[in-house]
Structure 1
Amino acid sequence: MALKTCRIENTDITWIDLADPSQEEVHSVSSEYNLNSYTLLDSLDPDHLPKYEEHNDTHFLIIRLLHDEKQKMPSIQSLSSKIAVFFTDTFIITLHRSSLPLIEEVRGNYVDSGKIKTAAGVAIQIVTDALRTFEGPAIDLSNAIDYYESKLFLSKNIAPDMIEGIYYLKNKAGLYKKLLLLSNEVVSSIHALGEERPALRDARDLHTKLVLLYDQVLDDAHNLLNIYLSLSAQKTNDVMKLLTIFSVFFMPLTFIVGVYGMNFKYMPELRSPLGYPLTLLIMLVICFVIFFWFKRKKWL
């Protein structure tokens, strides 16, 4: 467990950061700052989704930030980490299960330098930096879409595992977007006054931009899946078309061979010296007629 306490410069605001705290330490901090018991239970749940609540004068929010996830079928819990934040005008408490660089960056870059002087400002910055963790995956997914698109349209042979890769990509983008949509309550519910209002507007603009980015990724993934299925169907149709053309050529020839293969005694053509070459000539003429008919119909 790591418990860090600092005071925002030139203010009476205390920031308490708890990383993987014990039950006793959580209840000690809760009793000292009169935290709501239900929100405290939510803050200790590692799988809790983003939310925002207000109890008396205490604001409570949960935000999730992304980290690298190599699984093909990740879950929301496996690809993101949770930060719970309690804050009022006089204190801010952050609670998370493991040490997070984001907390240290906010403290070093904004609190220790004096750029942020309110508890709400710290909460807004934590939310903003958590949202920024969605930018890198959005770019990676867009690049993956471009890769699959180029392979789909420029490659002569479509890889059989391509549809699997597009599906996994779509699934991951859907999870990211779900987290962003759940974070909308947090972004829209925080209030800020004075110097913190521009930072809050930036957080809301960033959230809107990210939702649009993932919407675009999902639309592109859906379109790629549809195009892949269409191209696969077209390839199947081309094969069927070729087989149909061969069968049309051979159906009348097979009929002729079948008739003359019966060897009845009173078939005059069987004893004719020109029977064999005439039959071959008729077969050849039939093939030419079928060929030119297909060409006229533009089926060849």
Structure 2
Amino acid sequence: MIHVITESSEYGFEWLDAENPSDEEIDELTRKYSLHHSSIKDWRQPDHLPKFENVGGYAFIIFRVHAEEVTMEADTVPELTDSVAIFMNEERIITLHRKAWLAPEAIRNSQKEQNTCSNTHELVNEIIKVCLTTYEEPSIKLTSDIEYYEANMFLKNRKPAMLKGLYYLRRRVEVTRRVIMLSHDIMEKIDTPEQGNANTRDTRDLFVKLQNIYDTLFENMNQLVMIYFSISSQRTNEIVRILTLFSVFFMPLTFIVGIYGMNFRYMPELQMKYGYPVTLFAMALITVGIYMWFKRKSWL
């Protein structure tokens, strides 16, 4: 469905917004406004990464906004983000997106009050800024999730599915960080020395802020995974240590039992009246001696 957000008679430029357009509507836009087929093909790819290029008489931008609803096991670009295609020239802006997007109406209403967009370049800057703000709330959620896993990692009541949750959490951070990082070229083309102003610098500041936030989240996530494996390795070493201590206790006892279990006919100890209790006493004495030795070495 194609909506006319602004008209050239009122603002000096036109803004057309197409929400989940059909093939017939795409063909109509392509024919009427001379949109390049390669750009339409790029937008139709659900996992296409952010880009900025000049095609024909338009500047073509693909920007990805963070999805409103994300499942716990979402770990791909299409699952975590939605693409918005922007065609821009001096006369008009055309935006294409598949899912419902409240930004056009919100931007138009804000511009009626503030009137900060005097041309299409400034309007695209506002669109990019609104797209970037969709990453702020997910960054807070990711920070909370990392703190949750960090707190539970050091508790004894650890859940078995923690490693799976860490994997998907790391993937979400990594994919989102990569999408923001690949949007750098778009920011360079929006905030240029020739066309830059206070508004474009605000957008760049927001971009840098989000980039630093997700870089920090990515580093924290990597450290958290390393801590998890370190703790797992420490637990394994502790189990092996305990099992080794038990084996040391039983090694001499097994040796004694093995000697007297050979059943040779001429073994003088077998004829001793008190041979059995003496052997048991010796075994108990060896066990106590090993225990005291481990205590002195602080191994127990």
TM-score above 0.5: yes
Aligned 1:1-300 pairs, distance under 5 A:
1-7=1-7, 11-55=11-55, 58-67=58-67, 68-111=69-112, 113-153=114-154, 155-191=155-191, 197-300=197-300
1:102-124 Cα distance to aligned partner (Å, 9 max, x none): 22211112256523222111101
Q: Show structure 2 runs of 5+ residues with no match.
A: none
CA spacing shift, 1:250–1:21, aligned 2, 3 Å? closer
* Residue pair 2:51, 2:62 contacting (<8 A) in 1 also: yes
Q: Distance in 2 between matches of 1:144 and 1:107?
A: 35
Q: Name the amino acid aligned to 1:133.
A: T
1:98-148 Cα distance to aligned partner (Å, 9 max, x none): 431122211112256523222111101111111111111111111111001
Q: Distance in 2 between matches of 1:243 and 1:191?
A: 64
Q: Name the amino acid aligned to 2:7.
A: R
Q: Distance in 2 between matches of 1:58 and 1:87?
A: 5
Farther off after superposition, 238-247 or 183-192: 183-192
TM-score by length of 1: 0.89
1:183-229 Cα distance to aligned partner (Å, 9 max, x none): 11111111468996112112112112212222222222222222111
Deviation at 1:12, TM superposition (A): 1.8
* Residue pair 1:50, 1:182 contacting (<8 A) in 2 also: yes
Deviation at 1:72, TM superposition (A): 0.5
1:165-192 Cα distance to aligned partner (Å, 9 max, x none): 0001001111111211221111111146
User: How many residues are paired up?
Assistant: 299
* Residue pair 1:92, 1:119 contacting (<8 A) in 2 also: yes
CA spacing shift, 1:281–1:232, aligned 2, 3 Å? same
Partner of 2:96: helix, strand, or coil? strand
Deviation at 1:74, TM superposition (A): 3.5
Q: Distance in 2 between matches of 1:271 and 1:42?
A: 94
Deviation at 1:33, TM superposition (A): 4.0
Deviation at 1:280, TM superposition (A): 2.1
What percentage of residue pairs aligned between the two structures are identical? 37
CA spacing shift, 1:160–1:21, aligned 2, 3 Å? closer
Q: Distance in 2 between matches of 1:120 and 1:111?
A: 17
CA spacing shift, 1:270–1:93, aligned 2, 3 Å? same
Partner of 1:92: helix, strand, or coil? strand
Q: Show structure 1 runs of 5+ residues with no match.
A: none
Deviation at 1:27, TM superposition (A): 4.4
Q: Name the amino acid aligned to 2:180.
A: L
Q: Distance in 1 between matches of 2:165 and 2:81?
A: 21
Q: Name the amino acid aligned to 2:15.
A: W
CA spacing shift, 1:261–1:110, aligned 2, 3 Å? same
Q: Name the amino acid aligned to 2:238.
A: D
Deviation at 1:30, TM superposition (A): 4.2
CA spacing shift, 1:213–1:25, aligned 2, 3 Å? same
Partner of 1:115: helix, strand, or coil? coil
Q: Name the amino acid aligned to 2:110.
A: N
TM-score by length of 2: 0.89
CA spacing shift, 1:24–1:191, aligned 2, 3 Å? farther
* Residue pair 1:65, 1:131 contacting (<8 A) in 2 also: yes
Q: Name the amino acid aligned to 1:179.
A: V
Q: Name the amino acid aligned to 2:211.
A: V
1:250-271 Cα distance to aligned partner (Å, 9 max, x none): 1111211222233433322222
Q: Distance in 1 between matches of 2:274 and 2:153?
A: 56
* Residue pair 2:61, 2:87 contacting (<8 A) in 1 also: yes
* Residue pair 2:86, 2:96 contacting (<8 A) in 1 also: yes
Q: CA RMSD in A?
A: 2.5
Farther off after superposition, 186-195 or 249-258: 186-195
